[in-house]
Amino acid sequence: MILVLNGANLNRLGIREPSVYGAQTLPELEQQIVAWGSEMGFAVTCQQTNFEGALLEWVHTAAENGFQAIVINPGAWTHYSYALRDAIAGQSLPVLEVHLSNIHAREEFRHHSVIAAVCVGSVIGLGAQGYKLALEYLKTRLELEKPDYTDPPNQIAPRMA
Ligand code: DQA
């Protein structure tokens, strides 16, 4: 089960600067993300908020709510929310950062992400595909973490006293 979080102003996709963020609305994007997830065998829950505290609380409670990983696009909080950075650092799940636009090709203040160092990695500038790539990565990662119950039992003979 994967939690996909979108932060400030991302509910305005489709209306907001379409030359930067494209014409797709947030409900359309979320529907696509859920569909990609189910093709990959994941149940995906999408949430968006313009309230920083709500985002922090979703990060805090993700593990206890049964999620295995978080994909997050925090919007502008990316660039200055030390509270979000601390929330990510203080929980146990792998977190992947996604940005629709190439933040490095834009205004100077967008070049730095305060969460990048506490995330597993970042997918930047690839539009909606970035969420798909993040899910694909998580599929491989979570598959590898699964215990392999098909392994033969340990064959080493017990040591004689
Ligand atoms: C964004 C980039 C941020 O700089 C900006 O504030 C956003 C969206 C992106 O997805 O490209 O709101 O995170």
Each residue of 5-36: pLDDT tens digit? 999 999 999 999 999 999 999 999 999 999 99
**Which protein residue has the closest C-alpha to ligand 1 atom 1?**
75
pLDDT at 155: 59
3-state SS, residue 143 = helix
pTM of the model: 0.91
pLDDT-derived band at 161 (thresholds 50, 70, 90) equals low
* Both tokens assigned to 95: 């977190």
Annotation marks residue 137 as catalytic = no
The CATH number covering residue 72 comes to 3.40.50.9100
Q: Which of 99, 104, 111, 137 is catalytic?
A: 99
Q: d(Cα 137, Cα 156) in Å, to the nearest integer? A: 35
Is 99 in the active site?
yes
Q: Decide if 160 is inside a domain.
A: no
Residue 8: predicted pLDDT: 98
pLDDT of residue 150: 66
CB contact at 8 A, 96 and 69: yes
Please report whether residue 156 resides in a domain: no
Apex CA 125: angle with CA 124 and CA 126, to 5°? 100
Domain span at 124: 2-145
- What residue ranges line ligand 1, CB within 6 angstroms? 9, 73, 75-76, 78, 99-101, 103, 110
Length of the chain: 161
Over residues 142-159, the pLDDT tens digits come to: 987 877 666 665 556 666
Number of domains in the chain: 1
Would residue 152 count as lying in a domain? no
**Is the residue at 157 inside a domain?**
no
Q: Please indicate, yes or no, if residue 19 is contained in any of the structural domains.
A: yes
- Tell me if 65 is assigned to some domain: yes
Asked if the structure places residue 150 within a domain, the reply is no
Ligand 1 atom at minimum distance from 98 CA: 10
Ligand 1: atom nearest CA of 102 is 11
Please check whether residue 113 is in contact with residue 88, taking contact to mean a CB–CB distance below 8 angstroms: no
Q: CA torsion 56→61→66→71, rounded to 10°?
A: 10
